Amino acid sequence: MMKPEMPNCNTCGEKVGFGSDGSGVFVGCHECNFPICKACLDYEIKEGHTACLQCGTPYDGSLTNLDVAEKEHVTHTTMAGHLNSSQDAGLHARNISTVSTVDSEMIDEGGNPIWKNRVESWKDKKSKKKKAVSKAAKEVQIPIEQQMDVKQESAREMQPLSQIVPVPKSQITPYRVVIIIRLIILGLFFNYRITNPVESSYGLWLTSVICEIWFAISWVLDQFPKWYPINRVTFTDELSARFEREGQPSELAAVDFFVSTVDPLKEPPLITANTVLSILAVDYPVDKVSCYVSDDGAAMLSFESLVETAEFARKWVPFCKRFSIEPRAPEFYFSQKIDYLKDKVQPSFVKERRAMKRDYEEYKVRVNALVAKAQKTPDEGWTMQDGTPWPGNNTRDHPGMIQVFLGHSGAHDIEGNELPRLVYVSREKRPGYQHHKKAGAENALVRVSAILTNAPYILNLDCDHYVNNSKAVREAMCFLMDPQVGRDVCYIQFPQRFDGIDRSDRYANRNTVFFDVNMKGLDGIQGPVYVGTGCVFYRQALYGYGPQSLPRLPKPSSSSSCCCCGPKKPKKDLEEFQRDSRRDDLNAAIFNLKEIESYDEYERSLLISQMSFEKTFGMSSVFIESTLMEHGGLAESANPATMINEAIHVISCGYEEKTAWGKEIGWIYGSVTEDILTGFKMHCRGWRSIYCMPVRPAFKGSAPINLSDRLHQVLRWALGSVEIFLSRHCPLWYGWGGGRLKLLQRLAYINTIVYPFTSLPLVAYCTLPAICLLTGKFIIPTLSNLAAVWFLGLFLSIITTSVLEIRWSGVSIEELWRNEQFWVIGGVSAHLFAVFQGFLKMLAGVDTNFTVTTKAADDLEFGELYMIKWTTVLIPPTTLLVLNLVGVVAGFSDALNKGYEAWGPLFGKVFFAFWVILHLYPFLKGLMGRQNRTPTIVILWSVLLASVFSLVWVKIDPFVSKGDSSATQGCIAIDC
C-alpha cells in the first residue's frame, strides 16, 4: 500500500512524525486528530495547555499511533473539516490550513503575553527543526541515482533569476573621465572668479559667484550618484519552471495589490475601475492575488462603481487570459490605434472582441450614470439599496467599512473559474484625530491585508496607474524570489510611464531623465528611491525588520559573575541597554529575531520588554502574530468567523495611538511626499532596492499636461522635500551611526531634499542678465586668454557630459533639453513657493494654498494642454520673462545709440539673457494658450511697450551721473 503524505504540524509547520514505536503517525488528540507533533505537544503541556487546541478535549496521556489506513483517513477528514468551516464563514480560505482560537486574546491562562510565549519558544522550535531534519536524513536511505537528481535540482534552485548588465566600458569610462575633468575645471573656474572681482559692479559679481557655487554643489549632488549605472534582465521562464511545475500547486509568492483613491469626482471612478480590472486580470495565479481598494473619502459612488466593476470582471478577466490581451485595462485596450487582429489566430476572437466591447460600453454607461447621480447629494444623505443610510455620509465622521467581493467564497467568472479577491476598504474617520492622508490610508491597508490574506509582498498603485504589462508581477518576483538577490531587497521599483502627453512634451511630464538616468544610477549603488506608485514591497521590510544580512548587534558585556556571589545583575539600566542595542536611532522599531540568538535569557527579556509588540504594532493579537510570519499566510489565531471584525478593529481611528505606525513602521508620516521618507528609512536599516525596467512598461498612468496643473504637482513634491529637510529625518544628519546607508546613496537623498532651495540662487541668476543690460554693467571682468580657456573648457565639459549621458542611458536630446527647460521653469516658480510655504508651515504653523482657476479650454485631443489656469505660481517666471525681454530691447537700443564700440560688451550680456528666455520659452507658450496662435492683442501690446520703453531709455538714462552735464546737455526733445 502506498503511504499517503504525512500531515504538517499546525504549530511549527514540520511533518508530524511517527510515534515512539514507529508504527504510525503521532496523534495528540483522538477526538479530532488535530495535527501536532510530539515536540510541540510537550511544549503546550509544559505551558499549561492540557486541552486540545482544536476541540478542547483534555489530553488523556495515552498518546498512541495510527496505522497507515487511519493516517490516510485522518488527513482527508481533517482538511475537509477545515475547508468546510472556512466556507461556512463566507471568507476566502485559500491560505488557511487550520484555525485555532486559543490565542484570540492577548493574555493566556497563566497571565503571560502570548507574543512573549511565542518568542520564547521560537529558539526551541528552530533547534527542534534542525534536529528533525538531521534525524530524517539519517533514517531515510536514498538511492544514489535519486541523490544525483536531488543535487541537480538543488543546484538549479540556486541559479539566479535575474542578471545585472553593466553599462559597456566604452560608454561609462569616458563618461566618468569627463566628470572628473569637469570637476577640475570647476575648481580652476572658481579660482579665477573669486580672485578677479568686478569692482565697478561688486554686488552683482558677488551675487553671481554665490549662485554659481551653489549650482556647482547641486551638480555634484546630482551627478555622482550616477557613477555606477546598471541595467538588469529577468528570466521569467526560469521562474515559471522552478515554481510552477506541471500537476502541482503554484509555489509563487502571494501578492496584495493596494489601490488608493479619495474623491471620485476628481479621480473618475472609471479610471479607478480600469486600474482594478487590470489587476484582476494580471498574469498570475488567481489564488495568489488580492486587490484592496482604499476609499479614503467614504464615497458611496466609489463603492457602487466597485460593485459594477466586480460584476464586469466576471466577463473581462477570462477574455483577457484566453486571448492574452495587452494591456488589460479595457479603456486603454479598446482605444489602441493598432491592428487588433495581429497575432490573434483564434477564429472566434473577432466576434468575442466585438461582444466584449459592447459589454464594456454598457458598463461605462452604468458607471457614468452613477457619476451623474452623485453630482448632487440628497438632503437626507445617500441610502443603500436595502434602504439603510450610507455609513459614510459624513466623510469626516464615519465608521470603518470593509466589503469583500469575488474570490473563493464570492462570484466566479462566467466560465466557472475562481477570481482574485477584491476588497473595498474605508478606514474610520473621527473629528480630533490626525489621519495622515495617503500614508495613513496605506498603513490601514497594510493591517487589513495582514488580517485577511497576509501576502508576503505588497504592490501599491495610484488609482490612475493601470497594469500595462500583465507579467509585471512575475518580473518583480524574479528579484524577490531569487535565492541570491531577494534576501536583502525591500522593494522593487518600476519606472512611471504616462499616456495622453503631447509628442513634444513641453513640460517634461514624462520625467524621462529622472526615470531612465538617475534611477539607473541609483540601482548601481543601494537602489532607486521609492516614487509612490508602481512598487512591490516586501511586507517584513514595512514592519521595520532588518535584512537577513544585517550584522548582529554587539552582545552587551554588562553582566559578570564570581564564584562566591553568583551572577551579578547588569550594571546598565534599561535605558542604557536599549540605547546600546539600537545603534543610535537606526535599528528597526522591533527586534530582529535573528539577533536574539546571541542573548541570554535575562538580556533577551530586557530587549523584549523594551520593544514590546503591542507598543509597536497596536493591540491586535492576530495582526501581531502575522508580523512574525516571514513568508506570509494567515496567522494561527485567525478565526474566519471573526476576521472581518478584527479587520475593522485595525482600521479604527485610535488604533495607531502610542504605536510606531508612521514613525518607524509602515508608510512614514511627516511629509506630503511620504514615499521618499518610507524608502529612506528602509535604506537606512540596511535594505537595498532594485529598479526593474521591462521591455514593455509595467504600469502606465495619466499626468497633468497643462502648465498650471504641472506646476502645482511640482509644488507639492518640492514642499514635501522642504518638510523632510526641516524634520529629524533629514539625510544631512539622520542615520550616520550605523553606516548602513552608502555615501553616494546619501548624496542622492540629500539632493532630493535640497533641490527646492536652488530656486533662490536661480531666481537671482535669472535676474542678473536683465540688470546688467539695464545698467550697462557686467558680472565678469575683461577676459584674459587663460580665463577664456577656463570658460570654454567649462562649456565644452557640460556639453560632453550631456552627450555621453545620452549615449549610455538612451534618452534623446529633446528629452534632455525639455528636462533642462523645466528645471528652470519649476525652479523660479513652484520650487520658490515651496520653500516659503514649507518654512511658514513647519516653523510658523501657517498652511497656505495656491488656488487654480480655469480660464479657457479647447475640445481637442490635447485640449487640456492649452488650458489657461491663472495662479500665483505663474507670477515669478512671468516677471523674469518681461525683465529679460525688456533688458534685451534696452541693451540693443543703448548699443545703437553709443556706436559700434558698445556691441562687444553687449554680446556677453545678451547671451545670458537669451539663455533665460530660451529656458522659459515653454512657459511663454503656456501663457499664450493655443499652439501657434498667439493672441493679437498680446503682440500689439508687446511691440508698443517695447518701442516706447526703448525710445524713452535712449533719451532718459537713469544710470547717468547727475554731475555729468555733457551727457544731458541739449537733449530736450526726442529728435534732438
Confidence of residue 846 (pLDDT cuts 50, 70, 90): low
Residue-wise pLDDT for 174-207, tens only, equals: 999 999 999 999 999 999 889 888 888 888 889 9
Q: Would you please indicate which residues are annotated as catalytic (active-site) residues?
A: 296, 675
Cell 575683461 identifies what position? 782
- pLDDT at 550 (0 to 100): 65
Q: Is 459 left (phi over 0), alpha (psi -120 to 50) or beta?
A: beta
Task: Tell me: pLDDT of 715 over 70.
Answer: yes
Distance between CA atoms of residues 118 and 613, nearest Å:
12
- Find the range with the poorest average confidence among 98-102, 163-167, 471-475, 698-702: 98-102
In this structure, which long-range contacts are made by residues 51-60, counting pairs with CB atoms below 8 Å and at least 24 apart in sequence? 52/28, 53/10, 53/100, 53/102, 54/29, 54/98, 54/100, 55/29, 55/31, 57/29, 57/31, 57/32, 59/28, 59/29, 60/30
Residue-wise pLDDT for 525-545, tens only, equals: 999 999 989 999 999 899 888
Residue-wise pLDDT for 876-901, tens only, equals: 888 888 888 888 888 777 777 776 66
- pLDDT at 319 (0 to 100): 92
> Are 34 and 105 within 8 A, CB to CB?
no
Task: Tell me: pLDDT of 472 over 80.
Answer: yes
The better pLDDT of the pair 141, 892 is held by: 892
Residue-wise pLDDT for 106-124, tens only, equals: 344 333 444 444 444 444 5
Confidence of residue 594 (pLDDT cuts 50, 70, 90): very low
Q: Is 309 left (phi over 0), alpha (psi -120 to 50) or beta?
A: alpha
Written as nine digits, the cell of 225 is 550618484
Task: Tell me: pLDDT of 553 over 60.
Answer: no
Mean pLDDT of 440-455: 91
Task: Tell me: pLDDT of 790 over 60.
Answer: yes
Task: Provide the total of helices (H) and of strands (E) in the chain, helices listed first.
Answer: 32, 17
Confidence of residue 518 (pLDDT cuts 50, 70, 90): very high
- pLDDT at 520 (0 to 100): 92
Task: Tell me: pLDDT of 258 over 90.
Answer: yes
DSSP string, 466-531: EES-TTHHHHHHHHHT-TTTGGGEEEEEPPPEEES--TT-TT-TT-HHIIIIIHHHHHTTT-PPP-
Confidence of residue 278 (pLDDT cuts 50, 70, 90): very high
Q: For the chain, give the percent of residues with pLDDT over 70.
A: 70
Distance between CA atoms of residues 23 and 39, nearest Å:
18
Task: Tell me: pLDDT of 969 over 90.
Answer: no
Written as nine digits, the cell of 25 is 503517525
Mean pLDDT of 516-530: 92
Distance between CA atoms of residues 154 and 148, nearest Å:
10
- pLDDT at 283 (0 to 100): 92
Residue-wise pLDDT for 612-625, tens only, equals: 677 888 888 788 87
- pLDDT at 579 (0 to 100): 37
Q: 247, exposed or middle or buried, with CB in 10 Å at 0-12, 13-18, 19+?
A: exposed
Q: Tell me, what amino acid is at 355?
A: A
In this structure, the strands spanning 289-295 and 457-462 are unpaired
Helix (H, G, I), strand (E, B) or coil at 255: strand
Distance between CA atoms of residues 568 and 559, nearest Å:
6
- pLDDT at 959 (0 to 100): 46
Q: For the chain, give the percent of residues with pLDDT over 90.
A: 24
Written as nine digits, the cell of 452 is 485577511
The residue ranges of DSSP E strands in 829-924, in sequence order, are: 853-856, 868-870
- pLDDT at 19 (0 to 100): 67
Residue-wise pLDDT for 41-53, tens only, equals: 776 776 666 677 6
Highest mean predicted confidence (pLDDT) among 48-57, 822-831, 835-844: 822-831
Report which of 534, 540, 530 is spatially closest to residue 450, judged by C-alpha positions. Answer: 540
Angle 269-280/300-323 helices, nearest 10 degrees?
40
Mean pLDDT of 87-95: 31
Asked if omega into 327 is within 30° of 0 (cis), the reply is yes
> Are 92 and 421 within 8 A, CB to CB?
yes
Residue-wise pLDDT for 337-372, tens only, equals: 777 666 666 777 888 888 999 999 999 999 999 988
Q: Report DSSP state, residue 950.
A: H
Residue-wise pLDDT for 909-949, tens only, equals: 888 888 888 888 888 877 766 544 545 554 555 556 555 65
Q: Tell me, what amino acid is at 53?
A: L
Confidence of residue 400 (pLDDT cuts 50, 70, 90): confident
Helix (H, G, I), strand (E, B) or coil at 163: strand
> Are 827 and 758 within 8 A, CB to CB?
yes
Confidence of residue 574 (pLDDT cuts 50, 70, 90): very low
Q: Is 583 left (phi over 0), alpha (psi -120 to 50) or beta?
A: left
In this structure, the strands spanning 688-691 and 489-493 are parallel
Mean pLDDT of 768-772: 87
